[in-house]
Structure 1
């Protein structure tokens, strides 16, 4: 269970038998890939302790302050896994996240009828209005009952139920409703023989005009046109049906693959194409198991000849990319690609740590990045095979 920072620090002092259990800077590298959390942490609100003195897995309550000024309490693990599917800067603060996506209030049903004006004083007793006034006499001089919309609707229903239903007379001619057939005399009066058809609607006997109804009965002349079936959105647990039926591990061009996310990925692809020959125009790999409603994965750069996928990872503008839950998705993606016969090489920047055995941890895309990638390709596939594809 998380505990306050004072209790946690005192317990660590006793367990480690040291006045300063964690020296400043002990966990600087672990927090370096969370630049937003480094800015949100304030030592003056946390007993003067530095963030580099707190292990990322510590079960302790820390006080954070977002860029807007909202102060909140959360554990390091909660903060590291706070970003979700939305790529918004407000994801790092619970208050900002609630303000960015406000909850919709339930709609209040309106009264079926407006309230009557209160002409009588508040103490006036309501007058019973469940019976009709005598014939020839209007309502009494006193004011009627003061009721709101709901009571008035119930009152009208009771009055309507007590009255006898008036005899219904069938309507004829063009006012006849669909489903009520007129009598023989009425049909004769409403037929083209009894009256002339409107201008522009000259039809033969029994033939339907342009409106789709016959002059004799007023009913539709044929079966109604079927309405188009509404498009049902695909649920998240349903697989996409646009993945072609290819062998597992086959590279292809997918219509579902998103466009490149940054110009750095395009530059990395161009630099690799200038150094080594590989098939261009493919952006997906057929998988054996589903990966986020798809049987395919979309690495940044694919080298089908070597069966190597290259990923360029950075924390992004707001520090949301490839951290927290997105890091877990990256690990799952790597396992899916390796099970399909591919090897994944990630170029990790912005303080991100290596996820796999062949990942490169660099400061950014520089002139030495592509030669380092070629050396990693040689370790994975062998010098002889990789050098055969060099330009």
Structure 2
């Protein structure tokens, strides 16, 4: 299991009995054939340890800065095993890969048909009118409008425009004042068992309305006018997020960190405060964030102390379970 650079370096110092377990340049030859990785490695993001002090087989999380400016967390083996030994400008980066992915919109199937009476060609979705149904009458009106438009154009081809894709707003979002918590049918399920465990541990110590999983925003956030924190505390108007780098060390870093900051600003803009429980090497993003090694016995007590800092001892202690 990979571990953060600080923990790995400290363990090597202890096992080798020296402050510098690997001298600078020790593994220079092993990294020499990866010039782009040498350029993208940043000691300032890795506890001051330089790349030539790290064995290529070390099971450790390292932070790299790609040519486009994205921070990437990956092990030496992951970086060295990407396609292309020379690691040119096309070297792997999850954010660059996402930006380069083609985003062709999905349009309805279209066909070319000829209207009655040798009228001009009209391109559009083909659907047969159905008798006297409401949908059939709508289609008949559409065909009539196209015929009249074609006649008025003096025989010039008339083409129907493809419908614009509507914004991805959740149609089930209730019309509530900004800042109101509610139960959203659009919210994704919990991303990990650790989030569920944190929610359960907090529920043992603090009373709050269960089930609410969204907060109404004042303006769209990623095409939604609602935010979905990991834990919603309606009585305190505090949102709690549990952040880790994930199995591959790519979560909540780089562009994903920017999205976290935008989400925090959106919630604070409607009167809420955010507490992020940040694990591993993830830095704090806000004034009340917790930096912990993982979910443990001290996590909830530290979280309650943060809630007291935000809303005061009197209010928070009033909701504690006796």
TM range (shorter): 0.5 to 0.7
Supply the distance in 2 between the matched residues of 1:350 and 1:248 (Cα, whole angstroms): 34
Deviation, structure 1 residue 83: 5.7
Supply the distance in 2 between the matched residues of 1:286 and 1:306 (Cα, whole angstroms): 15
1:70 equivalenced with 2:77 (yes/no): no
Q: Which residue is 1:281 aligned to?
A: 211
Structure 1 or 2: more strand by fraction:
2
Q: Which residue is 2:303 aligned to?
A: 373
Q: 1:200-224 deviations in whole A, cap 9, x for unaligned?
A: xxxxxxxxxxxxxxxxxxxxxx657
Change (3 A) 1:364 1:275: same
Supply the distance in 1 between the matched residues of 2:199 and 2:133 (Cα, whole angstroms): 57
TM-score (norm 2): 0.58
Supply the distance in 2 between the matched residues of 1:332 and 1:359 (Cα, whole angstroms): 15
Q: Contact 1:291 / 1:333 at 8 angstroms: preserved in 2?
A: yes
Query: For 1:72-87, what aligned pairs fall within 5 Å after superposition?
Result: 72-74=87-89, 79=93, 81-82=95-96, 84=98
Q: Contact 1:348 / 1:354 at 8 angstroms: preserved in 2?
A: yes
Q: Which residue is 1:263 aligned to?
A: 193
Deviation, structure 1 residue 43: 2.9
Change (3 A) 1:241 1:350: same
1:53 equivalenced with 2:43 (yes/no): yes
Deviation, structure 1 residue 328: 0.8
Change (3 A) 1:79 1:342: same
Query: For 1:107-118, what aligned pairs fall within 5 Å after superposition?
Result: none
TM-score (norm 1): 0.48
What stretches of structure 2 of length at least 5 have no aligned partner? 10-29, 46-63, 70-77, 104-130, 140-161
Q: Which residue is 2:314 aligned to?
A: 384
Supply the distance in 1 between the matched residues of 2:90 and 2:135 (Cα, whole angstroms): 58
Counterpart among 226, 231, 234 of residue 296 in structure 1: 226
Change (3 A) 1:378 1:224: closer
Supply the distance in 2 between the matched residues of 1:58 and 1:354 (Cα, whole angstroms): 22
Q: Contact 1:250 / 1:285 at 8 angstroms: preserved in 2?
A: yes
Deviation, structure 1 residue 340: 0.8
Q: Contact 2:239 / 2:274 at 8 angstroms: preserved in 1?
A: yes
Deviation, structure 1 residue 74: 3.7
Deviation, structure 1 residue 240: 2.7
Deviation, structure 1 residue 227: 5.3
Q: Which residue is 1:316 aligned to?
A: 246
1:360 equivalenced with 2:290 (yes/no): yes
Counterpart among 248, 251, 259 of residue 329 in structure 1: 259
Q: Please say which of residues 67-76 and 371-380 is displaced more in the overlay.
A: 67-76
Deviation, structure 1 residue 299: 0.2
Q: 1:305-343 deviations in whole A, cap 9, x for unaligned?
A: 111100001111122211121111111000000001100
SS of the residue corresponding to residue 239 of structure 2 reads: strand
Q: Which residue is 1:184 aligned to?
A: none
SS of the residue corresponding to residue 84 of structure 1 reads: helix
Q: Please say which of residues 237-246 and 267-276 is displaced more in the overlay.
A: 237-246
Deviation, structure 1 residue 59: 6.5
Change (3 A) 1:236 1:292: farther
SS of the residue corresponding to residue 376 of structure 1 reads: helix
Aligned length: 221
**What root-mean-square deviation, in Å, do the aligned CA atoms of Structure 1 and Structure 2 show?**
4.0
Q: Contact 2:42 / 2:65 at 8 angstroms: preserved in 1?
A: no
Supply the distance in 2 between the matched residues of 1:261 and 1:70 (Cα, whole angstroms): 33
What stretches of structure 1 of length at least 5 have no aligned partner? 1-27, 33-41, 86-93, 102-221
